[in-house]
Homo-oligomer: A and B are copies of this chain.
Amino acid sequence: MDNFVFYSPTRFIFGKKEELNTGTYVKQFEGKRVLIHFGGGSAERSGLLQRIRDSLSGQKISFVELGGVQPNPRSSLVYSGIELCRKEQIDFILAVGGGSVIDSAKAIAMGTVYNGDFRDFFEGKAKLTKALPLGVIPTIAAAGSEGSDRCVITHEEGMLKRGAGGEAIRPKFAIMNPELTMSLPPYQTASGAVDIMAHVMERYFSNTEETEVTDRLCEAILLTVVTQLPKVMRNPSDYGARANLMWAGMIAHNNSCGIGREQDWASHHLEHELSALYDCAHGAGLAVIFPAWMEYVLKHHAPDRLVQFAVRIFDCKMNYENPEETALAGIKALRNFWKNAGMPLSFKDLGAKEADIPVLLDKLGVDSHEEGKYVRLDRKACEEIYRLACINH
C-alpha cells in the first residue's frame, strides 16, 4: 500500500425530503446570495426547484437562477455563469441536477474568483487555490461529483473534454434524496450505474500490492451496483435500491476505493473523446470502452485481477488450469449485465464510427503522452482498444 492522504469533509445529508432543508444548510455555510444552477426543465416540472426556492426564501436567502446545463457541460455556459455571479455578487452556488450540473457549478465557482480564463485550470496553467463555496443536490446516482474535488468540462473551442480540480471546489454539503432519482429514464439510470462501476474499476485495476482493504471496498461497491441496478430497472420507484445505488455512487468517487494505490484512468479518457465527439451519455460510452480495454489488458498483463473481478463480482467459476478463461467469462458477464440494463456495447450501438478512430486518437493527444497505469497505452494500443470496441456483441 502506498502512502496517501484521505480527506472528505463534505457534509452528506441523505434521505427522503431532505431538500426541504436546503436553506438551513446554505445558511450554515453563510450563503446570503445564491446562484441556483440547473439543467433542463425536469427540475422545474418535478417541483424540485420550487421546493428549493421556498426553502431558501424561508431562511431569507436571496437567489438568482441559471439553467440550461447540457450533458457534457459546455464552457460557454460556464462563462455566462461567471459573469452572472460577478454581476449579482453571488457568495454561494447551489447545483441542482446530475454530474454535468455539479461540474458546471464547480467551474463557475472557480472561475468567478479567478482573474483570468477559467480554462487555465484545465490546461495546467493555473493552480486552484480558491473558489466560491458550493452545495449540491444531485438528481442521479452516477458521477459522484457530490463528494469529489474534480470536474470535467467540454471546452467548445476544439470540443475538448478536460478535467480540473482542487480542494476549493469540493462541495460543502450534498443533499441526497434518492426519491429525486426515481423519475429518471431507464437509459440514464443505467448510464449512471455504469459510471459508478467504472469509477471503482479504474481504481481496482492497479499494480499496487497489499491493498486488501481497498480491494474489498471496491468489491463492496461493485456488488452493490450488480445487485441493485436490476431492481431499479424492474421497479424505478424502489426507494431502497435507489438509495443503495446513490450512496454507492458517492463512495465510488470520493476516493474511498482508491487510496494508497495506483489508479488507471485510461478508459475514462478514451471515453471522454467519444462523448465529446458524439455527445453520448458518458456511462454509455464507458459500457462500450471498458470491456474492450479489459480484453486488451488480458493480452498484455497477468490475468490475476481480471480473474479476481470475474470470481468475486460475477461469481464466475475459477478455472485453475486456464485462468484466462475465467477472466474472459468475467468480461462477458460484465457485458451481459450492462446489455440487460439497455446499455450499448459497441461503436455501432453508440452511433460512433470506426472511421473516426484517427480523429479520436488525435484529440486524445496520445502521441505526446501515454495513457493508463495498469497497462501503459501508446497510440497503437489505444487504437486497438477502439477497434475492439467496434466489434458487435
Contact = CB atoms under 8 A, between A and B. Distances in A.
A221 B6 CA distance: 17
B210 A243 contact: yes
Given A7-B11, A16-B3, A216 B223 contact: yes
Contacts of A210: 239-241, 243-244
A59 interface: no
B227 A220 contact: no
A262 to B, nearest CB: 14
A213 B5 contact: no
Contacts of A186: none
A79 interface: no
Contacts of A217: 217, 220, 251
Nearest to A248: B213
Nearest to A220: B216
B213 A1 contact: no
A7 B10 CA distance: 7
A256 B4 CA distance: 19
A12 B219 CA distance: 23
Nearest to A224: B213
Interface string A238-265: 0111011001100100001001100000
A314 interface: no
The residue among A9, A213, A241 with the most chain B CB atoms within 10 A of its own CB is: A213
A212 interface: yes
A209 interface: yes
Nearest to A238: B210
Contacts of A260: 14-15, 243, 247
A228 interface: yes
A2 interface: yes
Contacts of A212: 223-224, 227-228, 240-241, 244
A150 B8 CA distance: 19
Contacts of A221: 213, 216
Interface string A197-229: 000000000000111111011011101100110
A330 to B, nearest CB: 18
A65 interface: no
Given A212-B240, A219-B220, 15 more contacts: A1-B240, A1-B247, A2-B15, A6-B12, A7-B10, A14-B259, A210-B239, A210-B240, A210-B244, A212-B228, A213-B221, A214-B247, A216-B221, A217-B217, A247-B260
Interface of A: 1-16, 18, 209-214, 216-217, 219-221, 223-224, 227-228, 239-241, 243-244, 247-248, 251, 256, 259-260
25 contacts: A1-B239, A1-B240, A1-B247, A3-B15, A3-B18, A5-B13, A6-B11, A7-B10, A8-B8, A14-B259, A210-B244, A211-B244, A212-B223, A212-B228, A212-B240, A212-B244, A213-B221, A213-B247, A216-B223, A216-B224, A217-B217, A217-B220, A243-B260, A247-B259, A247-B260
